[in-house]
Amino acid sequence: MKSMSNPVRVRYAPSPTGEPHLGNIRSALFNWLYARASGGQFIVRIEDTDRARLVEGAQDSILDALRWLGLDWDEGPEVEGAYGPYVQSERQALGIYQTHTDWLIANDHAYECYCTPERLAAMRQAQQAASKSPGYDRHCRDLAEAARVDFRKQNPTSVVRFKMPLEGEIVINDVVRGEVKFESSLLDDFVILKSDAFPTYHLANVVDDHLMEITHVMRAEEWLPSAPRHKMLYEAFGFEMPELVHLPIILGPDRSKLSKRHGATSTIYYRDEGYLASAMLNFLALLGWSLDDSSEIFSREELLKHFTLERIHASPAVFDKDKLEWYNGVYIRNMDPKALAEELVSYLEASVTGLPTSVARPIDRDYLATIVPLERERLKRLSEAPAMFEFFFIDQPEYDHALLVQKGMDADTTRNAVERALATAETASDWSAAALEATYRALAEDMGLKTGQLFGTIRTAVSGRTATPPLFDMMSVLGHDRVLSRLKAALA
RNA sequence: GGCGCAUUCGUCUAGUGGCCCAGGACAUCGCCCUCUCAAGGCGGAGAUCACGGGUUCAAAUCCCGUAUGCGCUACCA
């Protein structure tokens, strides 16, 4: 337990190189959860030090994902705080990383390296051929000052490398995994400042985490192998080491790291597909964390109440889309119909993926409000609504008239059933579901048909489909005129 | 190849020496409910707890080894 004088400060530090990956957002969630659960601060820092991989709009997309899930940040882009700026390129422009690098060089913890990419590639090739473990051969580590002057003259581009210890053991302590040991001799002198004067992740991360007074570094497990480098950096600077919390990796169905070849990995994609933020939050929280043997449904509040670092798992978790969909169904069913209707409007009115253009926009909200309670328990994703609701909105659904014929019926009995159903509808005075059901049950009996037969025929005639909400609720919502015209069309 | 992490039903997981010849959830199958589809209820199948050795009266749980999977091994994060 950290003392009250040392409040928890955690950060989510994405690189704006693409869409917000689910695994990445899961890391953000855990950081946010821990910050909020412990009364600490949640900071967002943009790590845009790789100028070549920058993607326009990626930062906005990442922030959108956070906002969608309600992961609010106390400091970061758009929320200035006392430790800014919160974008590394801006910090670079301020000279923060250069200053730290200079200090490291002056104190014999780092050195300039003039090796060309060609030399490094050749070196790696040779190492591979000799099946030696790869790594920088420290060619420039102990160059004499005169030689350095020479190199600078010939080749003004250089990088700065950190001097790793040549021997010994580096032990890091991870909250999830305990002590992890690394052999120093196997770790090479890694680059901390690139030739474009931007820092690498390692330097920027350590410097910024220290300057921003981060207390817990929570990130995906793929970072565990670089933890010893970070530890050496902290020691060289004389900075206090934050707690390390390496989160289990999220896997695809084939058990390799979840990536695009497994399908959509963008959080934004799932939002657009109509997954609810509450469902996504619940699902993501249980990927690498659990409370007990029976709790499955967690609201944001419950998550905050129960989340602890101790219950984070060490083993990786496979992303199961079926389970996500189940969660979504659960949350949709628990949603207030009015709120759900409101949520559905944009999906229904969408130009390409929405209802057919023949349906006038804006759609009738009152009418929609009567449909939603009928379809709610069948919806798994909001994006299914247009296809599912279409027959409520268009004039006349297209369907194969063979579908009108139910089991044990033929063309004549079917035609007769539609005619009688039409006649009954024409004279019906009470259009409530209950009244309709009563009259049509009587009709079925009168005709010697099973309810399943008569109702099935009417269902298809009225909706063009074989799977719908309960028939009479549906007819009641559709309304007298629409039902009559569709029954007539079934006779054509 | 080297280093690191991990290993309980197909999947997410409960389990920290006896309550476990292993519990819950998703998916799957069957039945019930029922005008169809869902939802819901009930039930089934599904894990020799990766494997092999120990330690112990007793191990999924502790120790050692092996195997497998994944991650890292860039002037990417």
ipTM of the complex: 0.95
Residue A260 is among the residues annotated as catalytic for this protein: yes
Do A184 and A213 lie in one domain? The reply is: no
Q: In this structure, is the CB of residue A15 within 7 Å of any atom belonging to strand B?
A: yes
Type of residue found at A93: A
CB A53 within 8 A of CB A14: no
Domain count, chain A: 4
State the pTM of this model.
0.94
Q: Rounded CA gap, A257 and A248, in Å?
A: 11
Do A217 and A364 lie in one domain? The reply is: no
Report pLDDT for A133. Answer: 78
Instruction: Kindly state whether residue A26 falls inside one of the protein's structural domains.
Output: yes
Tell me the nt nearest to A50, Cα to C1'.
Answer: B76
Angle formed at CA A321 by CA A375 and CA A24, multiple of 5 degrees? 120
Instruction: Kindly state whether residue A431 falls inside one of the protein's structural domains.
Output: yes
Do A71 and A209 lie in one domain? The reply is: yes
Q: In this structure, is the CB of residue A260 within 7 Å of any atom belonging to strand B?
A: no
Do A413 and A467 lie in one domain? The reply is: yes
Q: In this structure, is the CB of residue A445 within 7 Å of any atom belonging to strand B?
A: no
Q: Rounded CA gap, A109 and A104, in Å?
A: 5
Q: In this structure, is the CB of residue A201 within 7 Å of any atom belonging to strand B?
A: yes
CATH at A66? 3.40.50.620
Q: Rounded CA gap, A118 and A138, in Å?
A: 15
Q: How far is the CA of A174 from the C1' of B53 (A)?
A: 30
Instruction: Kindly state whether residue A342 falls inside one of the protein's structural domains.
Output: yes
Do A142 and A179 lie in one domain? The reply is: yes
Q: How far is the CA of A256 from the C1' of B65 (A)?
A: 27
Instruction: Kindly state whether residue A84 falls inside one of the protein's structural domains.
Output: no
Q: Rounded CA gap, A472 and A438, in Å?
A: 10
Q: Rounded to 5 degrees, what are φ and ψ at A246?
A: -95, 120
For A115, counting Cβ atoms within 10 Å of its Cβ (0-12 exposed, 13-18 middle, 19+ buried), the class is: middle
Report pLDDT for A1. Answer: 42
Structural domain boundaries enclosing A412: 401-491
Do A356 and A221 lie in one domain? The reply is: no
Domain termination site, one of A345, A378, A394: A394
Tell me the nt nearest to A88, Cα to C1'.
Answer: B77
Instruction: Kindly state whether residue A382 falls inside one of the protein's structural domains.
Output: yes
Do A438 and A352 lie in one domain? The reply is: no
Instruction: Kindly state whether residue A322 falls inside one of the protein's structural domains.
Output: no
Residue found under tokens 């800014």: A84
Report pLDDT for A5. Answer: 54
Do A103 and A155 lie in one domain? The reply is: yes
Give percent of chain A with pLDDT exceeding 90: 89
Instruction: Kindly state whether residue A23 falls inside one of the protein's structural domains.
Output: yes
Q: In this structure, is the CB of residue A330 within 7 Å of any atom belonging to strand B?
A: yes
Which parts of chain A have pLDDT scores under 70?
1-5
Do A75 and A104 lie in one domain? The reply is: no
Cα A408 to chain centroid distance, Å, stands at 50
Residue found under tokens 């959080």: A267
Instruction: Kindly state whether residue A375 falls inside one of the protein's structural domains.
Output: yes
Report pLDDT for A465. Answer: 96
| Residue closest to sugar C1' of B2 by CA | A133
Do A390 and A405 lie in one domain? The reply is: no
Q: Rounded CA gap, A236 and A189, in Å?
A: 14
Report pLDDT for A134. Answer: 83
Q: How far is the CA of A192 from the C1' of B31 (A)?
A: 66
Task: Say which of A2, A132, A181, A260 is annotated catalytic.
Answer: A260
SS3 at position A414: helix
Tell me the nt nearest to A379, Cα to C1'.
Answer: B38
Tell me the nt nearest to A49, Cα to C1'.
Answer: B77
Residue found under tokens 């024409």: A426
Domain termination site, one of A349, A375, A394: A394
